[in-house]
Homo-oligomer: A and B are copies of this chain.
């Protein structure tokens, strides 16, 4: 049975929303169970009788604020859900960890508690985007900035291991995010990284430089970039997407014609939204640490939490850590 340690206190919507997500997940996966971490008095009333045997509440009363410095919190908040949940993974009591709390804290605690893989200097946050041809793993989405070429190269190996273990792609096509396709494009770091990636053997197929607009066409299974660029891209993309969904919200009140049009398109828009929304792909795994740690968006509702748990579950079943070990050996 797969066991996932869950931070019940992370995210903008409180523990009831997280527990709803847990229920959705357990409903769909009878071979899974969870440990939920938080103040016991808050957790107990939220555990549905139906899942009593598969949800184990564990007292973790320290709460980490969103603005709190992660390294300081690490010293002072040993009874926080993030600390205790990751400790459960470290000591084999759970197979994976999931949190919608502070990204900085989850990153720092994961690195300090689970430890970095000996070959990896910098862990990376991976996001799965939906292209016209299927899922694309993109990393790093903000774990670190000012990456050196060997960091970006490491990201390509981490992304490959994830693509193989979780998305089932045998020989992933890996691309380097750049502002043009020619090898000499980009800055000093990209040019050198291009050289490192070109020299790769059988781990993956290097497809060269990939431009931002081509990611959604599915030209690569893994796209590598620095965390500053990846994080900005993701947020800019969110901004562009929100323009569209705002447009529908406005149009569905603008005129009778538009109202009817928007109403007729509603089911299609909803399924489109789900396909591309972050909640569909739920969690962003932190790759390069010795254990499975999945970060969900702070805004996650139950549905997104369910999908983040699913990502953790798939990572366990797909033997992500073993595949990462072999990719890096």
Residue numbers of A with Cβ under 8 A of B are: 132, 142, 145-146, 177-179, 186-188, 190, 211-217, 225, 227-229, 231-244, 246-247, 251, 254, 257-258, 260-268, 272, 276
**A261–B258 CB distance below 8 A:** no
Q: With A145-B179, A145-B187, A179-B231 known to touch, is A236 a contact of B215 (CB < 8 Å)?
A: yes
Closest chain B residue, CB of each to CB of A144? B187
Copies of the polypeptide in the assembly: 2
CA distance A179 to B234 in the complex (A): 10
CA distance A251 to B273 in the complex (A): 13
Please tell me which one of the listed residues B177, B246, B261 contacts residue A268 in the complex, with CB atoms under 8 A apart: B261
Q: With A145-B186, A216-B240, A262-B265 known to touch, is A247 a contact of B272 (CB < 8 Å)?
A: yes
- Complex contacts, A263 vs chain B, CB 8 Å: 261
- Complex contacts, A231 vs chain B, CB 8 Å: 179
The 3 closest A-B pairs by CB, nearest first: A261-B264, A212-B236, A212-B235
CA distance A101 to B141 in the complex (A): 33
Other than A213-B236, A247-B268, give 7 A-B pairs with Cβ distance below 8 A. A146-B188, A216-B240, A216-B242, A229-B229, A232-B233, A237-B240, A260-B264
**A239–B216 CB distance below 8 A:** yes
Q: With A179-B142, A272-B247 known to touch, is A235 a contact of B211 (CB < 8 Å)?
A: yes
